Structure 1
Amino acid sequence: MQHLEGAPCQNESEQNLRRLIDVVFSSQPAEIEEVLRFLIGRGKGLTPSGDDHLVGMLAVLYGTNQHSGVFLQVLKQLVYNGKLTTDVGREYLRYAINGQFSSTVTEVVDQLMNDDQQLLKSKMRRLIEMGHSSGADTLFGMLIGLLAIRRK
């Protein structure tokens, strides 16, 4: 809501999440890499929150055919050549880079395109229940993807 209302950023994490919205469709690899280096591996757990945000965002971008080649190229290079995150986080990101997501994630994306609000809420609740915070973090990433598309 702060982003939508134009409020100033409260901390470095919020600033980089807003920058992510800006760089999703950027053609500037250095700018994209700077934001991704901040996010990949950020957070605790088997799949850090930053990784889950990126997976959710990519799910929306693939689901709407709005993904950016430059963004994916930089992300792929960082994920495949770097040790920026956990082994599990890296695997999730590798699948996401290739447009492959869990059925729970794809069901939410599919419902975002439909008009059945009750079914969407049900699918979102199911996603939120995944892991300690992974489902909520992935859903937040979906919001980032939608905001990036809206900005485009």
Structure 2
Amino acid sequence: MTTVFKGHLGTVRHVRVPLGLDPWPEEGPFDLVHVGQSALILARPVERRRDHRSALVALTSQERGVVPGGICVPDPAEFAELVRRLTEDAPTRPALTPRLVRLDGWLADPPRLVERIDLRLPRTTLDPRAVARMGSGLADVPWRPADPVMDPRVQRELAGPLARAALASDDPLVEDLLVRLIGAGPGTTPAGDDVVVGVLATLSAAAGLPRLDSDGPARRLAAPLAALLDRTTAMSRHDLLAAIDGQFAEHVHGLVRALADPSLVAGAIARARTWGASSGIDHASGATAAARAVLAVATDLFPSRTIHATRRSA
């Protein structure tokens, strides 16, 4: 037996959605596949899925922010009411009974205020002080579980090598590292995948270096990454495909901004610690390791004036 929610969700009057996308899912039922404190994940039934990118729709709170392919309900009362209405009979349903949700009411009566948010990262000039501070702050984040299988640090340590391989155009090494990362580690979105998203974010946004202006390093990850998506979860495929397309969740934007401004680092790390069991710190670790790699390239390309002056006087 299937339970179907058919309400028109008229309590939601204000939403935030990604720029350039139709914010309203088409008619038809969705499977409710995940219920969290700050997000509800809906999946299109298999027969209606055109590709990985269109498989999922995330309904998120302001705490979670706008995510690729999602609809954010920023008002806490409206989001709480949305969760209540979509899950109100969950305790009485058998565990294996599918829960279908129809959002048809939003097609006929959309929210009055719709904000469109650009999830493409702007060009960013990294600040070495901010990158160093982010690295130190992440090193101080405690990790308690003793089970090595649940330790995401194994995947985080591969972020720097992956970014350096992409910057060096070492395609075989890029592919080898992606094989070791995609689908690996704990979490609904595995830690290795979140690390790759962080690396892609920094490589997509970094500005000021000739070899980065064409997005070459980020593109170098795209082809081998797309070939590995079947190794991971549906939620992670969704995030990775968006990252390949240059779109990142708002909280990832916050991490990249912090890598350009030391005053934002502490707040960015605090917010990252609230994003999933370890996903936020995994994103931050990937983004920071890539930032270190980019700055190392910058140092090689542009030696300091002090060094030049010393050489001239010698």
Q: TM-score, normalised by structure 1?
A: 0.77
- Number of matched residues? 139
CA deviation string 1:4-55 (max 9, x = no partner): xxxxxxxx75774453233122323222111100011111221001001011
Label 1:107 to 1:16 Cα distance change in 2 as closer, same or farther (>3 A).
closer
Q: Distance in 1 between matches of 2:252 and 2:155?
A: 24
More divergent stretch after superposition (17-26 vs 49-58) = 17-26
Counterpart amino acid of 1:143? T
Correspondence 1:34-73 to 2 at 5 A: 34-65=176-207, 66=212, 67=215, 68=217, 69-73=219-223
**Cα distance, 1:126 vs. partner?**
0.9
Structure (1 or 2) with the larger CA radius of gyration? 2
RMSD: 2.6
Bigger share in strand: 2
More divergent stretch after superposition (16-25 vs 141-150) = 16-25
Higher relative contact order (CA 8 A, sep 6+): 1
CA deviation string 1:106-132 (max 9, x = no partner): 0221232235x1x33113211221001
Can you give the 5+ residue segments of structure 2 that lack an aligned partner in the other structure?
1-153, 298-314
Q: Which residue matches 1:105?
A: 252
Q: Distance in 1 between matches of 2:261 and 2:178?
A: 31
Bigger share in helix: 1
Q: Distance in 1 between matches of 2:158 and 2:268?
A: 28
User: Does structure 1 conserve the Cα–Cα contact (< 8 Å) formed by 2:159 and 2:195?
Assistant: no
Corresponding residue to 1:84 among 228, 231, 242? 231
Question: Which runs of at least 4 in structure 1 moved beyond 6 Å after TM superposition?
Answer: none
Can you give the 5+ residue segments of structure 1 that lack an aligned partner in the other structure?
1-11
Q: Distance in 1 between matches of 2:274 and 2:188?
A: 16
Q: Which residue matches 1:26?
A: 168
User: Does structure 2 conserve the Cα–Cα contact (< 8 Å) formed by 1:20 and 1:35?
Assistant: yes
Label 1:34 to 1:46 Cα distance change in 2 as closer, same or farther (>3 A).
same
Q: TM-score, normalised by structure 2?
A: 0.40
Partner SS state of residue 227, structure 2: helix
Label 1:109 to 1:18 Cα distance change in 2 as closer, same or farther (>3 A).
closer
Q: Which residue matches 2:270?
A: 125
Partner SS state of residue 46, structure 1: coil
State percent identity of aligned pairs: 31
